[in-house]
Amino acid sequence: MFPLHVTLLVLLANVALCQYYDYDYQPVSMLGPSGPNCNTECDCPINFPSAMYCDSRKLKFVPIVPTGIKYLYLQNNLIEEIKAGVFDNVTDTLRWLVLDNNHLTNAKIEKGTIDKLTALEKLLFSFNNITEPIIPPSKSLEELKMMNNKLSKFPSGLLTDKENLTSIHLQHNELTSEAIADAFKGPKKLLSLDVSYNKLKKLPAGVPNSLEMLYADYNEIDKIGAGYLKKLPALRYLRLSHNNLQDSSLPAGVFNVTSLVELDLSFNKLQSIPEINELLEQLYLQANEISKFDLASICKFTGPLNYSRLKHLRLDANNITHSDMPPESANCLRQASDIMFE
């Protein structure tokens, strides 16, 4: 059996690599006959009458949603607009709204649509053409996905009352650090924030201290504020690969926090191994400019109870080889099962 934290790590990695959400979707042929309380454009299986499947039908508009529908699947269509009134029957009952992979813009989403959904728990809006986030009034919102859009701003205050929001995915947009300043202050239960593939020059400000996963790969981040991670005592997974980090832009000990389990700093411009905490388990430093193995950055002291918990350390594609490891490394890295130099 694997330890729980390893199992969780694998699960999170799989989730991070997935572009599409698993909607508990079944092919129409497997849904069975449709019930009478359904729009003719869609299917509402008798054995799951609270769901309406309207996906992959070349629809150009959102059909009127009948009373009793809680889960609405509209992904993989040609939807260009949402007209007022289509959600009037489910304003306080619709829980899931899936609109991934359509042609929606902000201008074609009329008032009296998403802005009336007070019970929504999941809003999946990826692979569209919106430039500003669409946020429902629901205080029950738990998951927000707006990947692969054209978001260029995320005004502060939009999430102020979203106390149940745990997951935000905004990767592959056009967001800058200024555009998301204080955008994430509201959700007090936020666990996961992914802002990878944007135009950030620094990590997002004002994120809640509940955060456990922060992914900001493929940005333009060139510095991290002193004490930034100290304000996030629950943070376990931090990914900053493919940025512009240099030794001179990192305050001393900025990554030396006890909560971190995984730290990814690969594909940056680091010339030395940054100081880390002994409790860190996964460290990725490949494709930097590191030329020295400074063991003190990993283990301040070495003894029976003082050693690194690192299990995986990647140093490949640097200016360093296995022969650069000092002799006492074996005692410091006694739990490491994988150290890569090439």
Q: What CATH number is given to the structural domain containing 101?
A: 3.80.10.10
Query: In sequence order, what DSSP letters do the residues of 202-260 get, joined into one string?
Result: SPPTT--TT--EEE--SS------TTTGGG-TT--EEE--SS---GGGS-TTTT--TT-
- Say yes or no to pLDDT of 179 above 50: yes
Alpha-carbon distances, residue 4 vs 7, 8, 10, 232, 282 (angstroms): 5, 6, 10, 22, 15
- Answer yes or no: is 254 within a domain: no
- Say yes or no to pLDDT of 22 above 80: no
Give the residue numbers spanning the domain of 141.
Answer: 35-150
- Say yes or no to pLDDT of 15 above 60: no
Q: What is the pLDDT of residue 342?
A: 87
% of the chain with per-residue pLDDT over 70: 90
Q: What is the pLDDT of residue 3?
A: 45
Please state the pTM of the whole predicted model: 0.90
What does the pLDDT look like over 25-72, one tens digit per residue?
Answer: 554 445 667 778 899 999 999 999 999 999 999 999 999 999 999 999
Band the pLDDT of 19: cuts 50, 70, 90.
very low
- Answer yes or no: is 144 within a domain: yes
- Answer yes or no: is 65 within a domain: yes
- Answer yes or no: is 170 within a domain: no
Q: In angstroms, rounded to a whole number, what is the distance separating the alpha carbons of residues 235 and 165?
A: 17
What does the pLDDT look like over 113-138, one tens digit per residue?
Answer: 999 999 999 999 999 999 999 999 99
- Answer yes or no: is 44 within a domain: yes
Q: What is the pLDDT of residue 8?
A: 41
Q: In angstroms, rounded to a whole number, what is the distance separating the alpha carbons of residues 235 and 230?
A: 9
Residue 308 in contact with residue 333, Cβ under 8 Å?
Answer: yes
- Say yes or no to pLDDT of 321 above 50: yes
Mean pLDDT score of the chain, rounded to an integer?
91
Alpha-carbon distances, residue 55 vs 25, 45, 74, 329 (angstroms): 10, 14, 4, 56
**Can you tell me the mean pLDDT for 261-279?**
98
- Answer yes or no: is 79 within a domain: yes
What does the pLDDT look like over 180-204, one tens digit per residue?
Answer: 999 999 899 999 999 999 999 999 9
- Answer yes or no: is 71 within a domain: yes
**Gyration radius of the chain's alpha carbons:** 23
| Helices and strands (DSSP H and E) totals, the chain | 3, 13
Number of domains in the chain: 1
- Answer yes or no: is 124 within a domain: yes
